[in-house]
Amino acid sequence: MRRHPSMVPAGVWRHTAGCGTVGSRERLPGMETDLLYLRDAYLAEVDAEVIDVDPDTRRLALDRTVFYPTGGGQPHDTGTLADHPVVDVRKEGGLVWHTVGGEAPLPGRGATVHGTLDWDRRHQLMRTHSALHVLCGVIWNRWGVPVTGGNMEPLSARMDFEFDPLPEGFKEEVERLVADEIAADRPIEVSFLPRDTALDDADLIRTKVNLIPESVREIRVVDIVGCDKQADGGTHVRSTGEVGGVRVVKTESKGKGNKRLRIEVIDAR
């Protein structure tokens, strides 16, 4: 949750093979995928150019994408790309690679392709990811306890906190606090801060922005205004009301100073 691979700067693709002429259908050195989902999580479709193809693994790299690649506890998106089902999305260096299923021939480098997200699933992941940040916020604001890790699926998630032990009546109280934040319908704002500005922010320091590699000069910040603020590369809803509701399904001890919460995101009551 805390440090998303997608915040790590895109590595520069090095043109090593054949170092001679770069033809118009070859990927240019330094070409990277524009990660549209970082600026607008509500884009469900894209027209993009294929900048590289790996026919053996049936993977396509695009000049821009709306598909979120697995990272930061959030699973990759699914959908269709050039009418092929998208079965995996990964970010490697500066490129997002989309693995497609089926056996139909793949478009070539330079082709323009249309991609469409499975929007219902993505929106569920956005609600779930935002729910986890609300959870981080209320647990920090009420008990001063930091998160140690987490993972999510559409509408369900787990998150680990440094509690030892869990406070009395914890489950009911945390559910009530989360419900209050959802009822307040707090705006969720995404911004991009220069690294030095981010390092001056107490909330971002608390959530370990300083652990993001030095080479990352611009930090993406997700601010649930008045509740939780952290460096984050995931996709979020616009306000806490859109989360719906959150139920704490289970709490488990994972050892000293590590307690696991399992949550479900439900429709608004």
Binding site for Zn ion (CB under 5 A): 1, 232, 234
Q: How far is the CB of 73 from Zn ion (least distance, A)?
A: 6
Q: How far is the CB of 133 from Zn ion (least distance, A)?
A: 6
Q: Which of 72/115 has CB closer to Zn ion?
A: 72
CA 173-176-179 angle, to 5 degrees, is 150
DSSP category for residue 257: T
Q: Which of 1/62 has CB closer to Zn ion?
A: 1
Q: Which of 1/100 has CB closer to Zn ion?
A: 1
Q: Which of 13/68 has CB closer to Zn ion?
A: 68
Q: How far is the CB of 200 from Zn ion (least distance, A)?
A: 21
CB-nearest residue to Zn ion: 232
User: Is the CB of residue 126 less than 8 Å from the CB of residue 117?
Assistant: no
Q: Which residues contact 205 (CB under 8 A, 6 or more apart)?
A: 199
Q: Which of 70/116 has CB closer to Zn ion?
A: 70
User: Is the CB of residue 36 less than 8 Å from the CB of residue 65?
Assistant: yes
Q: How far is the CB of 185 from Zn ion (least distance, A)?
A: 20
Provide Rg for the chain, Cα atoms: 20
Q: How far is the CB of 231 from Zn ion (least distance, A)?
A: 9
SS3 125: helix
Q: Which residues contact 35 (CB under 8 A, 6 or more apart)?
A: 6, 64, 65, 96
